[in-house]
């Protein structure tokens, strides 16, 4: 198959693929998998419904032929997928993939850092919403300590994961007082702290606009104590707005999905753990690729199906967010990754 760029109705190409390898997570973060919904009786996907590592590798090879260059392994919590290192080792060998990263909550035995590195992983993003145990526990809702996540980050830096990105979702009335302590702590080389506006992803988190702390307010708070200087994007479709501390030169980022949408530059698609392709984080419906993979369809046929899905894409939810989108059905973030 020849490599070519496939563009959607707004001229956006499919360059980035986020691959959910499991819908399970050991945290119950209130903005993603609230315990009231994802409790003990919640039915997660059975193993036989998950795409195998071989199926995922085949799919990625097909995505490369239509322009995909960047992969991110997500969940749920991807390290909960048994032997995920095997998948990473398979994906890094695919010609044409220029970047492979993994998102995690950093809650696992630190020995896993080395096995991930040995598998070929070079980039990692770690979620951490506060340095205060009380606040962090309110948000993760499983009584998990900050110190263990910090140990994961330090071990990852020692293993050569540079830079480590740390994602902090900011919710008004919950953890906005953690903005400055986090900014101070991660004002250091080889880490990039990214503040994320609380988003209305899925249908379970009871999102309200008044709980959003805008990126402008976050930047203003930090700038008052630690002056910031804007940086140019690393590439055209970069999600985070980049800044550096004027004094140290270290970098931070602001992800502004609510107040300053970036739909126009979105080159990302999301593959759920059970093989459905979603064109947007806020999608209501996915497109089943698993059935096609498990039929007698050849790679060309699968590639053509993906092209047709992407070519028809009109998604720009964050740009049209309003009272009209409030009650739209949306897939849960834990199902397709962040």
Residue boundaries of the structural domains of the chain: 16-336
- For residues 302-318, average pLDDT: 90
Among 71, 101, 89, 76, residue whose Cα is nearest residue 192? 101
- Its pTM stands at 0.93
pLDDT at 272 over 50: yes
217-266, pLDDT tens digit by residue?
A: 999 999 999 999 999 988 877 889 999 999 999 999 999 988 888 788 89
Please state whether 249 falls in left (phi above 0), alpha (psi between -120 and 50) or beta: left
**What's the pLDDT band for 1 if we cut at 50, 70, 90?**
very low
H/E segment holding residue 103: strand 99-104
pLDDT digits (tens, 9 = 90+) for 80-119: 999 999 999 999 999 999 999 999 999 999 999 999 999 9
Tell me the per-residue pLDDT of 141-175, one tens digit each, with 9 for 90 and over: 999 999 999 999 999 999 999 899 999 999 999 99
Nearest to 21 by CA among 57, 66, 65: 57
Element holding 287 (H helix, E strand): strand 287-288
For 16-336, CATH number out of 3.90.550.10, 3.40.228.10, 3.20.20.70, 3.40.50.300 equals 3.20.20.70
Which alpha helices (H) appear in the chain, and where do they start and end?
53-65, 84-91, 111-119, 133-140, 146-158, 179-185, 215-225, 290-293, 299-311, 317-320, 333-336
């Amino acid at each position: 198959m020849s490599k070519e760029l496939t563009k959607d109705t707004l001229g956006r190409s499919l360059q980035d693929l986020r691959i959910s390898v499991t819908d399970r997570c050991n945290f119950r973060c209130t903005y993603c998998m609230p315990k009231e919904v994802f409790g003990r009786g919640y039915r997660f996907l059975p193993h036989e419904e998950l795409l195998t590592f071989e199926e995922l590798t085949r799919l990625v090879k097909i995505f490369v032929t239509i322009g995909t260059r960047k992969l991110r392994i997500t969940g749920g919590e991807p390290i909960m997928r048994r032997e995920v290192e095997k998948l990473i080792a398979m994906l890094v060998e695919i010609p044409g993939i220029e970047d492979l990263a993994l998102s995690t909550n950093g809650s696992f035995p630190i020995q896993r850092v080395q096995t991930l590195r040995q598998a070929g992983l070079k980039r990692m993003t770690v979620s951490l919403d506060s340095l205060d145990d009380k606040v962090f526990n309110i948000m993760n809702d499983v009584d998990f300590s900050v110190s263990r996540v910090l140990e994961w980050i330090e071990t990852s830096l020692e293993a050569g994961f540079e830079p480590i990105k740390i994602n902090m979702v900011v919710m008004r009335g919950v953890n906005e007082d953690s903005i400055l302590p986090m900014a101070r702590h991660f004002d250091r080389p080889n880490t990039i702290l990214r503040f994320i506006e609380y988003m209305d992803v899925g249908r379970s988190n009871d999102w309200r606009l008044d709980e959003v702390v805008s990126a402008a307010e976050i930047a203003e708070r930090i700038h008052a104590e630690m002056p910031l200087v804007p940086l140019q994007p690393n590439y055209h479709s970069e999600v985070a707005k980049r800044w550096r501390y004027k004094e140290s030169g270290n970098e931070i980022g602001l992800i502004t999905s609510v107040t300053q949408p970036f739909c126009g530059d979105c080159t990302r698609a999301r593959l759920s753990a059970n093989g459905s392709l979603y064109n947007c984080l806020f999608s209501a419906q996915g497109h089943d690729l698993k059935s096609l993979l498990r039929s007698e369809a050849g790679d060309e046929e699968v590639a053509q199906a993906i092209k047709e899905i992407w070519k028809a894409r009109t998604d720009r939810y964050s740009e049209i967010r309003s009272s009209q989108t409030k009650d739209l059905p949306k897939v849960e973030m834990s199902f397709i990754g962040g």
